Chains A and B, each alone.
Chain A
Amino acid sequence: KAGVTQTPRYLIKTRGQQVTLSCSPISGHRSVSWYQQTPGQGLQFLFEYFSETQRNKGNFPGRFSGRQFSNSRSEMNVSTLELGDSALYLCASKSGTGSEKLFFGSGTQLSVL
């Protein structure tokens, strides 16, 4: 079974720009969660999508948004980038049927200059 695929692996953007990250979950998994990881704040939950619907949301500003497609692939968008958005963005797949076990992708390292 293929794992979780995240693209791109690295991104460099400037302040004010927007960015879209992509995640393909493990085949058969219907839930995709997004996390932000920084040295100072650790792993912070952004949101979770299940069957194309946002099921849970963390405490992030509205500049952070996401969506999920019918094939369970998910995208995360950050608009009006700020320096503080520099982080590793991790996508995690779970089956969505009650198990909270997370299977992480390799992440997208975003640098905002």
Chain B
Amino acid sequence: QKEVEQNSGPLSVPEGAIASLNCTYSDRVSQSFFWYRQYSGKSPELIMSIYSNGDKEDGRFTAQLNKASQYVSLLIRDSQPSDSATYLCAVSNTNAGKSTFGDGTTLTVKP
């Protein structure tokens, strides 16, 4: 079992729809959870971080964390073609000092 698993994708949604990206993790002592966006040919860019159970909203993005279920999700509302990218879920244990990444979910938003 991989330490961080993401829905395999690719995921395609029409412009204006909600895109839902999911991630599960295996290390129960994980403390920090991140979503990175990676455009084709570019490096990953941090878009959301979440540390406690519940929802965290930032503009059109909402991250959700459920530590009991070891589950993190990212919702993108009013999806735009510019949101088309690979989204990487990352989980970190401060004691380990590293982030473990999922394989990513590729999102395509169709005009």
Contact = CB atoms under 8 A, between A and B. Distances in A.
Interface stretch (B8-16, B64-72, B92-100): B92-100
A7 to B, nearest CB: 14
A26 interface: no
Interface of B: 32, 34, 36, 42-46, 49, 88, 90, 92, 94, 96-104
Contacts of A33: 98-99
A64 interface: no
Nearest to B2: A42
A102 interface: yes
Contact of A101 (B43, B46, B101, B103): B46
Contacts, number: 47
Interface string A76-108: 000000000000001000000010111111110
Contacts of B42: 106
Tell me the interface secondary structure of chain B in the complex.
Answer: strand
Given A56-B97, A102-B46, 20 more contacts: A33-B98, A33-B99, A35-B101, A42-B102, A42-B103, A42-B104, A48-B97, A56-B98, A90-B43, A100-B92, A100-B94, A100-B99, A101-B46, A102-B44, A102-B99, A103-B46, A104-B43, A105-B43, A106-B42, A107-B43
Contact of A90 (B44, B96, B97, B104): B44
Nearest to B33: A100
Interface in A1-53: 33, 35, 42-43, 45, 48, 50
B9 to A, nearest CB: 13
B99 A45 contact: yes
A22 to B, nearest CB: 15
Contacts of A90: 43-44
Nearest to B43: A104
B32 A100 contact: yes
A104 B49 contact: no
Given A42-B101, A42-B104, A101-B49, A56 B96 contact: yes
Q: Which of A90, A104, A105, A107 neighbours the largest number of chain B CB atoms within 10 Å of its CB?
A: A104
Contact of B34 (A35, A50, A101): A101
